[in-house]
């Protein structure tokens, strides 16, 4: 069974399962308890990115617990 990817509680960036820190913001607050997924390719043109305060392209969890 594949390990669940980890979402950052700080910036919602979705990281690989073996990470200890977030690749996007460096936080160590990662969790497997998240739902929803959005890929943001052009954050400067995205209303969703603006709502989520995302400035870097990548995959983000919509809800992190």
- Is 12 annotated as a binding-site member? no
Distance in angstroms (rounded) separating the CA atoms of residues 49 and 45: 8
Assess whether pLDDT exceeds 80 at residue 19: yes
Segment 8-18, tens digit of pLDDT: 999 999 999 99
Segment 22-61, tens digit of pLDDT: 999 999 999 999 999 999 999 999 999 999 999 999 999 9
Confidence bin at 1 (pLDDT 50/70/90): low
List beta partners, residue 64.
Answer: 34
Domain 6-64: which topology? Rubrerythrin, domain 2 (2.20.28)
- Is 59 annotated as a binding-site member? no
- Is 9 annotated as a binding-site member? no
Confidence bin at 3 (pLDDT 50/70/90): confident
Domain ranges within the chain, ordered by starting residue: 6-64
- Is 22 annotated as a binding-site member? yes
């Amino acid at each position: 069974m594949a390990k669940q990817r980890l979402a950052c509680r700080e910036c919602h960036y979705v990281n690989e399962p073996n990470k200890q820190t977030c690749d996007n913001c460096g936080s160590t607050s990662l969790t497997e308890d998240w739902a929803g997924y959005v890929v943001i390719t052009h954050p400067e043109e995205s209303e969703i990115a603006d709502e989520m305060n995302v400035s870097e392209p990548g995959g983000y969890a919509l809800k992190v617990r």
